[in-house]
């Protein structure tokens, strides 16, 4: 955004009010905000307590009357192999609308685990009476090999001879194989830029996906997915000289993007 020609240089920043169409509808100086008579009543105050390293170890949210609504606590340095890292965190209190109802009070805590090199390998979260565990298993080269999410399920990444991720599949805590027998997704080819140009998905169903890229600038020019003639997805992309997406072709229909200096990109569909 620019000031019009001849406008003197401003000595204070402007706050821009943006409408739903991302167009500027008003400009407000901070000084104007201070002079307004009608202000919304203060409903919350947040206090942050920091340790000697500048880390927030306590966050307190207070109501307008000064009473504590919620409080979060953060502990650092005490986890095994976790010097300088977060060890645990908790949240207590009750939202104002639920005050007096102990059944709706906060019950949240989380703890972290680290390996001998100080790398994060586990987290345990307790909320609403349930405990959910996350874990990451690293291989000998320090790459994330297996991971467990909060659902309790495990996934595994298979790496190729050049160190790139080659496949992703289901796994278990006891799984020790480095390869995927039935992969959700497997990379079959990459170009000189390292872009994936061919992969298959859906395990044994073997749904192929191919991508094409401009060899001069690496921008993607096409996407095809489906077992027969791109029957799931068929897209092509065109870019302008500045690297902006200029057109998207989907199944024979073109969506062209026009960039303007005073408005966001507009989309026009053409048959």
**CA pair distance 21, 60, nearest whole angstrom:** 37
By the 8 A CB rule, do 51 and 58 touch? no
Q: Which two tokens stand for residue 74?
A: 């953060």
pLDDT of residue 261: 55
The per-residue DSSP string of 49-82 comes to: EE-TTS-EEEEEEEETTS-EEEEEEEEES-STT-
pLDDT of residue 229: 83
Interval 45-86: pLDDT, tens: 999 999 999 999 999 999 988 999 999 999 999 999 999 999
- Using alpha carbons only, how large is the chain's radius of gyration in Å? 27
pLDDT of residue 174: 96
Low-confidence residues of the chain, pLDDT below 70? 1-42, 204, 259-271
**CA pair distance 236, 223, nearest whole angstrom:** 6
**CA pair distance 110, 122, nearest whole angstrom:** 11
Q: Give the Å distances, CA to CA, from 193 to 111, 114, 163, 218.
A: 40, 35, 15, 7
pLDDT of residue 221: 95
End-to-end CA distance of the chain: 34
Please count the residues of the chain.
271
Pairing state of beta strands 207-213 and 196-201? Answer: antiparallel
Q: Which residues pair with 250 in a beta bridge?
A: 235, 253
**CA pair distance 180, 196, nearest whole angstrom:** 18
**CA pair distance 171, 69, nearest whole angstrom:** 42
Q: Which of 243, 258, 252, 198 is nearest to 225 (CA)?
A: 198
pLDDT of residue 39: 46
Helix ranges (H only) for 124-234 are: none
Tokens 């050049």, residue located: 162
By the 8 A CB rule, do 66 and 49 touch? no
Helix ranges (H only) for the chain are: 30-35
Q: Which of 138, 194, 196, 141 is nearest to 167 (CA)?
A: 196
Give 86's contacts (C-beta < 8 A, 6+ positions apart).
Answer: 74, 75, 76, 79, 112
pLDDT of residue 205: 73
pLDDT of residue 268: 44
Q: Give the Å distances, CA to CA, from 52 to 74, 76, 90, 112.
A: 14, 12, 20, 22
User: What is the reported pTM?
Assistant: 0.66
By the 8 A CB rule, do 152 and 128 touch? no
Interval 84-108: pLDDT, tens: 999 999 999 999 889 888 889 998 9
């Amino acid at each position: 955004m620019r000031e019009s020609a001849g406008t003197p240089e401003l000595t204070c920043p402007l706050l821009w009010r943006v409408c739903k169409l991302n167009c500027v509808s008003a400009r407000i100086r901070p000084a104007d905000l201070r002079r307004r008579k009608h202000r919304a009543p203060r409903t919350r105050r947040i206090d942050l307590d920091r340790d000697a390293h500048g880390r927030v170890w306590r966050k307190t949210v207070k109501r307008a009357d000064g009473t504590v609504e919620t409080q979060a606590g953060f502990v650092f340095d005490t986890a095994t192999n976790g010097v300088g890292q977060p060890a645990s965190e908790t949240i207590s209190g009750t939202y104002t609308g639920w005050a007096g109802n102990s059944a709706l009070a906060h019950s949240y805590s989380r703890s972290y685990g680290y390996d001998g090199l100080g790398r994060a390998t586990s987290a345990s979260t307790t909320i609403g009476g349930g405990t959910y565990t996350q874990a990451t298993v690293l291989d000998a080269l320090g790459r994330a090999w297996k991971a467990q999410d909060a659902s309790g399920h495990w996934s595994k990444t298979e790496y190729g001879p050049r160190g790139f991720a080659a496949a992703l599949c289901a796994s278990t805590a006891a799984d020790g194989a480095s390869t995927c027998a039935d992969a959700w997704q497997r990379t079959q080819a990459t170009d000189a830029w390292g872009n994936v140009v061919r992969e298959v998905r859906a395990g044994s169903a073997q749904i192929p996906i191919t991508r094409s890229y401009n060899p001069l600038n690496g921008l993607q020019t096409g996407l095809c997915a489906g077992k027969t003639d791109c029957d799931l997805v068929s897209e092509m992309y065109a870019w302008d000289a500045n690297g902006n997406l200029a057109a998207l072709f989907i199944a024979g229909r073109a969506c062209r993007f026009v960039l303007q200096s005073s408005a966001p990109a507009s989309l026009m569909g053409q048959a």
